[in-house]
Chain A
Amino acid sequence: MSTTTSDTPTTSGTGTPRRPEDASTAGPSTPGAVQPPAGRRLATGLRSRLPSAAGWRGTASTLALALPVPVLGILLWHVGVQQGWTLPFGIQMAFLPTPAAVLTRMIDISVGGQIDDAFSGTLIEHLTASTGRVLTGFGIAAATAIPLGVLMGRFTVVFRLLDPVINLVRPIPVTAWAPLALLIIGFGDRSTIFLVFLAAFFPILLNTIAGVRRVPVRLLEAAAMLGTKQAQVLYKVVLPSAMHSIVGGLRIALGLAWVILVVGETVGISTGLGSMITQARDMSKTDLIVAGMVVIGLAGFLADRLLVLLVKVATRGRPTLS
């Protein structure tokens, strides 16, 4: 039997796991003889983690392809504003701020010292308020929708009891809830959090139900014949198997949460990115509106990346979970 490390399943340079040849002729192996020496294993581990020369070339070519379009876009934006172009939909580019003005405004709201108005250096305050609302609403949605989805996916009675109601409520756009939420909850944090919760709830719920219902019967049978107690099947098999789908739901929900945030912060709230944009509109500060839009986009993007990273760490990178 071979004692080299060449046929141990490590990840190759491209990152795809190699499928080792079936060692079907291998008999009972001698203990110790088949384990690669620790030094070798460490070396291969390091090598697979550090980007190789080919890896750097890959990054460079990715950048070379990713950059031209945004650069061209910003260039056209600048020229369009200066020339006062009119675009389809009747977009008057003359009313837009230039990219440079937006950049100045972003620096000003971040650290101040550029424009010196009521918004200078207030970004962190707005961002904190908005992030808090998103996380609270999203957190409550996850904490309620995942257990409910597991119950509905696992028990037909619960599903048949709740599915009709959910299908009636779900098509109502969250934006349509906004006026009612203001009246029955009142101005302030709580109605915004409620709207975020509503927006995040259904994608998580539906994806959890779908994931739980798709758990392969074979895995449930395997668990049963290995002596898994009924009460443990849920977190030993059902949850891990549905994990991928649940995480998909969480990501969609988190994206929607940032969308709804702006709607929820338009009325009766003085802090938050949505409120900042609303005030900017009232004062016709288009550079501030665009700066706010960029910040919200970046925040949503970062939140998604963080969520994915969190799941990866929590599941220790196990396949089919993260």
Chain B
Amino acid sequence: MPRIGNDRAPQPATIRAVDLGKRYGSPGAGGVQAMAGVDLDVAAGEFVTVVGASGCGKSTLLRIIAGFEPATDGTITVADEQITGPGPDRGVVFQDYGLFPWLTVSENIAYGPRQKRYPSAVVGEKTTRVLEAVGLTRFARSYPGQLSGGMQQRVAIARVLANDPAVMLMDEPFGALDALTRSAMQAELSRIHRETGTTVLFVTHSIEEAVVLADRVVVMAGGASHGVPGHIREIVPVPLARERDATSPEFNELKRHIAALVHEGVEAAA
């Protein structure tokens, strides 16, 4: 994909978590250990999904990588750099979009490049390019409130892409969408990932979605309410070719395996 302007070509980055843990509240007996001992290596350009029951710490993991919350134990690096806070190298796509309602679609997308103080011509070209990539050129001048949920989420993805992020962090981005829109968005995200080669960490409740999208599926278990801190139960590689057929026996075999891991995690902890 051609790059525009004076930014260095974005290099997909690695994510490396070592013995990562998160404790809420006081450091003594009063606190709650939400997550502990998470070791994870995500290769540059890899698509990793994270599944697990509610409270297993999958969103916490994502928020720590995004820099919204500090880890209380262990280390976390992106492109071998310690994370100290949020930044445009790590684009986040939220379940509830988080678009600025007073800005048009194209202004929302141009927001990041403008923060980097690119010349307006470069901002314009970047905006046009990502608008095209998500198929929303016609809606450039609409406001988010005028769009459906699926379209708003595509604006949110475009807004992150316009920043040429080294890593894309997606927190149940399609959780609020209907089934048809959801599968269309999955196909589109796969295509965008293929074209941009960005590293993606994708948190989801849906085991099927996790298998459809991922190179590897991280299964998490536990959680404060289970008395065991959230942790990684197993990392399952998905060796299926892309354009995956969700009805094939191989696909369903993987789904069953992961579902068993998720449920085991819940029962073992309960």
A240 to B143, CA, bound (A): 15
Q: Are B138 and A35 in contact (CB under 8 A)?
A: yes
Contact B115 A228 (CB under 8 A): yes
Whether B151 contacts A22 by the Cβ 8 Å rule is: yes
Q: Is the CB of A17 within 8 A of B96?
A: no
Contact residues, B182-220 vs A (CB, 8 A):
184-185
Q: In the complex, what residues of A have CB within 8 A of residue B67's CB?
A: 224-225
CB 8 Å contact bits of B88-102 with A (1 = contact, 0 = none): 101110101011111
Question: Is A31 an interface position by the 8 A CB rule?
Answer: yes
Q: B70: CB under 8 A from chain A?
A: no
B residues whose Cβ falls under 8 Å from a Cβ of A: 66-68, 85-88, 90-92, 94, 96, 98-103, 111-112, 115-116, 128, 132-133, 135, 137-139, 142-143, 145-151, 159, 163, 180-181, 184-185
Q: Which residues of A contact B147 (CB under 8 A)?
A: 9, 19-20
A19 and B112 contact, CB distance less than 8 A: no
Contact check, A318 vs B143: say whether CB atoms are below 8 A apart.
yes
In Å, the complex CA distance between A318 and B100 comes to 11
Across the interface, do B100 and A222 meet the contact criterion of CB distance under 8 Å?
Answer: yes
Which B residues touch A34, using CB under 8 A? 137-138
Q: Which residues of A contact B88 (CB under 8 A)?
A: 225-227
Partner of B87, one of A28, A227, A232: A227
Closest A residue by C-beta to B116: A227
B86 touches A224 (CB 8 A): yes
A8 at the interface (CB under 8 A from B): yes
Q: Compute how far the CA of A35 lies from the CA of B128 in the bound complex, rounded to whole angstroms.
A: 13
B148 and A19 form a contact (CB under 8 A): yes
Q: Is the CB of B135 within 8 A of A218?
A: no
Name 15 extra pairs, CB < 8 A, besides A9-B142, A320-B145.
A8-B139, A9-B139, A9-B147, A19-B147, A20-B139, A20-B142, A23-B135, A24-B185, A28-B135, A29-B137, A222-B98, A224-B67, A225-B88, A319-B101, A319-B145
The 5 closest A-B pairs by CB, nearest first: A227-B88, A24-B184, A222-B98, A26-B135, A224-B86
Is the pair B133, A28 in contact by a Cβ cutoff of 8 Å? Answer: yes
CB closest residue in chain B, given A33: B137
Chain A residue contacts of B112, Cβ below 8 A: 226-227
Contacts of A222 in B (CB 8 A): 92, 94, 98-100
Q: Are A224 and B143 interface neighbours, CB within 8 A? A: no
Within 8 A of B (CB), among A186-226: 216, 218-219, 221-222, 224-226
**CA–CA, A321 and B66, complex, Å:** 29
In the complex, the answer to whether A29 meets B132 with C-beta atoms within 8 Å is: yes
Contact A321 B102 (CB under 8 A): yes
A221 near B135 (CB under 8 angstroms)?
no
Which residues of chain A have C-beta atoms less than 8 A from B146's C-beta? 9, 17-20
Q: Which A residues are in CB contact (< 8 Å) with B99?
A: 222
Q: How far is the CB of B15 from chain A (nearest CB, A)?
A: 15
Contact of A17 among B111, B145, B184 (CB under 8 A): B145
Encoded as 1 (CB less than 8 Å from any B CB) or 0, chain A from 102 to 126 comes to 0000000000000000000000000
Q: Judge whether A282 is part of the interface by a CB distance below 8 angstroms.
A: no
On chain A, the residues within 8 Å of B94 by CB distance are: 218, 221-222
Taking a contact as CB atoms closer than 8 A, the residue among A216, A226, A320 that contacts B159 in the complex is A226
Query: Can you list 14 pairs linking A and B with CB atoms under 8 Å apart?
Result: A20-B146, A24-B180, A26-B135, A27-B135, A28-B132, A28-B135, A222-B94, A222-B98, A222-B100, A225-B66, A225-B67, A226-B88, A226-B91, A320-B101
Question: Which of B66, B94, B137, B145: most chain A CB closer than 10 A?
Answer: B137
Smallest CB separation, B74 vs chain A (Å): 22
A320 adjacent to B102 (CB under 8 Å): yes
CA distance A83 to B85 in the complex (A): 79
CB pair A227–B137 under 8 Å, yes or no, is: no
- Closest-by-CB residue of B relative to A34 is B138
Residues on the A chain within 8 Å of B68, using CB: 221, 224-225
Closest CB in chain A relative to B175 CB, distance in Å: 14
Instruction: Give chain B nearest CB distance to A255 CB in angstroms.
Output: 26
- B102, B180, B184: the one contacting A240 at CB < 8 Å is B102
Docked pose: A312 CA to B23 CA in angstroms: 47
Q: How far is the CB of B258 from chain A (nearest CB, A)?
A: 26
A22 touches B148 (CB 8 A): yes
A91 to B110, CA, bound (A): 65
- The answer to whether B135 touches A29 (Cβ under 8 A) is yes
Interfacial chain B residues near A27, Cβ < 8 Å: 135
Given contacts A35-B138, A319-B145, contact A218 B96 (CB under 8 A): yes
Taken residue by residue from 1 to 44, chain A's Cβ proximity to chain B (1 for < 8 Å, 0 otherwise) reads as 00000011100000001111111111111010011000000000
Nearest residue in B to A18 (C-beta to C-beta)? B146
Query: Using Cβ atoms and an 8 Å threshold, which residues of chain A touch B66?
Result: 221, 225
A299 interfacial by beta-carbon distance below 8 Å: no
* Chain B: minimal CB distance from A174 (Å): 34
CA distance A128 to B109 in the complex (A): 47
Which residues of chain B are near A23, meaning CB under 8 Å? Answer: 135, 151
